[in-house]
Amino acid sequence: MKSKPDIYHEKQSKQLCALHTLNNLFQKPEMFTKTLLDDLCIQLTPNSWINPHRSVFGLGNYDVNVVMAAIQLMDCEMVWWDKRRRITPHDVNSAIGLILNLPSPSRVGSLLFPFRTKHWLAIRQFDSVYYNLDSKLSAPESIGDIQQLIEHLTRHLNEDNCELFLVNSTKPCTLAVAELM
The catalytic residues are 17, 119, 134
Q: Rounded to whole angstroms, what are the CA distances from 135 to 8, 20, 113? A: 11, 6, 21
For residues 94 and 97, give the distance between their C-alpha atoms in angstroms, rounded to a whole number: 9
Q: Rounded to whole angstroms, what are the CA distances from 28 to 31, 32, 106, 124? A: 5, 8, 28, 13
Residue among 17, 9, 34, 11 at smallest CA distance from 120: 17
